[in-house]
Amino acid sequence: MIPKLYRRVALVTGGARSIGAAIADGLAAAGAIVVVGDLAESPNHRSIELDVSSEESVVSVIDRIVADHGRLDILVNNAGIMFEKHVADQDRESWDRMMAINVTGPMMLTRYAAPHLATSGMGVIINISSLEGNVCNPDHAAYSASKAAVQGLTRATAIDLGPETRCNAISPGWIDTPLNASYVDSHPDREEVVSQLSKLHPVGRIGSPADVADVAVWLASDESRFVTGQNITVDGGRTIRPPLPPIIG
């Protein structure tokens, strides 16, 4: 049986670790030729150094991939940063850096990849947003704003690049990433934290990077050929369950 993404060329930004690495692995397992664009080197896939906040770096990476492989079929805009800062203390410098990496980077990659995606048959762009594009934790004004912008960019891209290219976003919930694990590990009763987090999810557990990767592979494939401009929430049902006070819940 021919893999569903056989010989398609994919660029995964921020693909050296965590969710990005799982997506890169998933695309490769489905038959894609995967190139990771990251400031770190991927242990499993060809890596090209990429600073998504630099237009020169973006252009160079896109040109190298097309020169080496003759095409580009799939773009996964996964690279991003997160920091915590109260909106009343939010400084312009860190705000601009968040937007440069989380929003402007995906826009520039989309711009320069678009001509190549359009000639690949049906190009695919997958943007990694977050639940915080719709809801927000304290001190996450910049992050939440950036992820809401990613969802808006996704819809606009689907309209502007259709019918040659489809564009969708994935909004992960609580995923077992190194960042989230550090929060859990810092608590004196780690097992209780994991238990309570699991109870927030109707599926009974927190997510894994593979849960996000499986959705990305589906979106990259022809199985989702009539899906574009959508934001797909991958959160184990967490956001459909309104919270209750501990005394009731």
Taking residues 157-164, what's their average pLDDT? 97
Residue 198 domain flag = no
Token reading at 151: 């969802």
Report which DSSP code applies to 207. Answer: B
Q: Which domain does 94 fall in, by range?
A: 9-175+208-240
What are the pLDDT digits (tens) for 92-126?
Answer: 999 999 999 999 999 999 999 999 999 988 999 99
What are the pLDDT digits (tens) for 185-211?
Answer: 666 777 776 777 888 888 989 899 999
Q: Which residues of 64-103 are buried (b: 16+ CB within 10 A; e: fewer)?
A: ebbeebebbbbbbbbbbbbeebeeeeeeeeebeebbbbbb
- What's the pLDDT band for 241 if we cut at 50, 70, 90? confident
Amino acid at 247: I
CATH of the domain at 94: 3.40.50.720
If one counts every other C-beta atom within 10 angstroms of the C-beta of residue 229, the result is: 16
Amino acid at 89: D
Residue 140 domain flag = yes
**Residue in the structure block whose two tokens are 């989702």:** 224
- Catalytic, out of 6, 112, 143, 183: 143
Residue 247 domain flag = no
- What's the pLDDT band for 249 if we cut at 50, 70, 90? low
Q: Give pTM, 2 decimals.
A: 0.94
143 is catalytic: yes
Residue 196 domain flag = no
pLDDT of amino acid 134? 92
